[in-house]
Amino acid sequence: MSIHDDNKELIGSLRAGLRAAEPQALRHIARQLFAPNAQLRLGHPLGEMTGGDQLWQRAYKPLLDALPDLERNDFIVMAGPRWGKGKSGDWVGLGGHFIGTFTKPWLGIRPTGKPVFMRYHEYLRIEDGKVVEMEALWDIPQLMLQADCWPMADQLGVEWMCPGPSNGKGISSEPFDAEAATQSVQAVWDMLHDLKQGDADNPDRGLGGYWHQNAPWYGPTGIGSARGHAGISNVVLKSFRQGLSDNQRHLEEGVFFGDHDLVAFTGWPSGTAVHSGDGFLGLAPTGKRFNRRSLDFWRIEDGKIRENWVMVDMLDLYRQLGLDVFARMHAMNRTDAAA
């Protein structure tokens, strides 16, 4: 057993607590598992927190109040060391869906009284049996869409409750294999460096030779999901490359780690760009420079990317472009109420 196998077992209490979502038990688990000074970064508007008690009070408890029958279903659980020469730190990656009946408002989003789902990606750094750092994104716009109050531009991709890895091995339980993990991360690393060479004149750069021809790209709500080379190019690459300039990826500063055929990357931020052209998110160019936060998973099969789960902090991105999604949502709610 490696430290990474131990860390996946350690996180088992948190996974069980979030699946059952019994308030007092979950509060106790958060306090016990997270170091008192743990640095926690969640997407906008949840923001930065310190320690398990703040995580409970500001994130878990309000969500549980709104979805009292909440449960969290994981489709990816993986762990590994931070990849790269001179890098250190042991990480666990979690991905899946929150599911529950939306009975009370949350973050100003109107309840539907119906079952809803919200995808999440969370990466946790472990030291001496405690979580000391976490970066997490919850797909809050996904709830807005289900609440029939959509304050953002229409997305090009499709919306769905994305599945986990198609080989049924998203919950990694085999002993950690350093060689396999390194090979998987290297495949993603090579792809991302080729992807950096693409521009509006070369919109498909980074696909050929790296991606399976039918690979699904499971994007966040606000961009949507796509399938295959043509779909990924049309939904993602063309809009980014036509709408952005000075688009820099912060790969060296980000955290990569692998576990068998799974790869995780977290960047906070993962890149910077200038919103200089048409096509990006369907918005008129603002000329603003912005950071983007992303937490991504890949699965490698026969040396190529077979599946990709992407989470971007869309609300923070809109905020930086000068668009207050929550203010627009509240205005739409008032208009609906008046009608």
34, 57 contact by CB (below 8 A) = no
Q: What is the CATH number of domain 3-146?
A: 3.10.450.50
pLDDT bin (cut points 50, 70, 90) of residue 333 is confident
Query: Average per-residue pLDDT in the chain?
Result: 93
Residue 87 CB coordination number (10 Å): 12
pLDDT at residue 334 in the model: 76
Do the domains at 3-146 and 178-326 have one common CATH topology? yes
Integer Rg of the chain from CA: 19
Q: pLDDT tens digits, residue range 225-279?
A: 999 999 999 888 888 888 888 888 888 899 999 999 999 999 899 999 999 998 7
**Dihedrals φ, ψ of 199, to 5°?**
-150, -170
212, 228 contact by CB (below 8 A) = no
Residue 193, SS3 per DSSP: helix
Question: From residue 165, how far is each of 75, 95, 299, 305, 312 by CA, in Å?
Answer: 7, 11, 7, 12, 19
Q: How far apart are CA 106 and CA 11, in angstroms?
A: 26
The model carries a pTM of 0.95
Answer yes or no: is pLDDT of 63 > 80: yes
CA angle 314, 226, 158 (to 5 degrees): 70
Answer yes or no: is pLDDT of 39 > 60: yes
pLDDT at residue 335 in the model: 66
Question: From residue 54, how far is each of 11, 60, 134 by CA, in Å?
Answer: 18, 9, 13
210, 188 contact by CB (below 8 A) = no
Q: What are 165's two structure tokens? A: 């890895």
Q: pLDDT tens digits, residue range 67-90?
A: 999 999 999 999 999 999 999 999
Domain 178-326 has CATH 3.10.450.50: yes
The residue to which tokens 């449960």 are assigned: 71
DSSP state of 141: H
Work out the percent of the chain whose per-residue pLDDT is above 70.
97
For the chain, give every domain's residue range: 3-146, 178-326
Q: How far apart are CA 297 and CA 310, in angstroms?
A: 7
pLDDT at residue 132 in the model: 98
The residue to which tokens 């008192």 are assigned: 36
Work out the percent of the chain whose per-residue pLDDT is above 90.
82
Strand partners, 266: 255, 295
Q: How far apart are CA 334 and CA 52, in angstroms?
A: 36
Residue 337, SS3 per DSSP: helix
Answer yes or no: is pLDDT of 197 > 80: no
